[in-house]
Amino acid sequence: GGALALHGVSFVGCLERGRILACQFHPEISGSWASGIIRRWLTPVVPVRAAPMVKHSGLARRVIACLDCHEGKVVKGTKFQNLRDCGDPAALAKMYEQGGVDELTILDISATHEGRANALETIRAVRAVFSLPITVGGGVRSVADAEALLQAGADKVGVNSAAVKRPELITELAKALGRQCVVLAIDARKAEPGSDVDYDVVVRGGRDKTGKDAA
């Protein structure tokens, strides 16, 4: 398999065959993200004693932390309302990496509602201290919006409201950036009794119902 990258023109960024992965990038440009890759490549694998056999699903466990952000701060609320400040995104991202997460998702929860693009300065600040994969969502309406997030330090972009309104956006992003960079997010809410759907897809930070069934 392989993946395309975009820097002026589209080119092959990496190739994978079996246990071998060849990746092309410039560490002096890619900053902490690249140094993190090099560190993990060069760190020897320490053999560990096999754990007792237990029945499981066969899926590898991945821990993905999610930061809901508003005006440059991590916030917590109920259904995107009554938000309270929970700290600095970069500081929390660094803490999560030290704690052993595998990836990070950053959602600008007010970008779509306010009709603006994602806060790029937040992504740059987090990338400066976080070397693992980052997915960013909020305010992505076009290929240009997604490219700006990738250039700011995101590895993948998440689309939600804009994709519900215009599903062809998903194909446009996949063709321009590679499908490995595109994540579809769905906000759903239990539908009211008598509705034609079980779980109603909602957009604009959960504010608007669409009548579309999440399944």
Active-site residue list: 68, 187
Half-sphere exposure of 129 (CA within 13 A, CB side): 14
Give DSSP secondary structure letters for 58-122. Answer: SPPP--EEEEEEETTEEEEEETTEEEEEEE-HHHHHHHHHHHT-SEEEEEETTHHHHT----HHH
Distance CA 6, CA 165 (A): 26
Instruction: State CA 213 to chain mean position distance.
Output: 23
In what order do the strands lie in the sheet containing 2-7?
2-7, 9-17, 20-23
Category of 139 on φ-ψ map: left (φ > 0), alpha (ψ -120 to 50) or beta: left
Specify whether the CB–CB gap between 135 and 155 falls below 8 A. Answer: yes
Using CA of residue 118, residue 121, residue 124, residue 125, what is the dihedral sign?
A: negative
In what order do the strands lie in the sheet containing 187-190?
187-190, 199-203, 208-213
Specify whether the CB–CB gap between 128 and 108 falls below 8 A. Answer: no
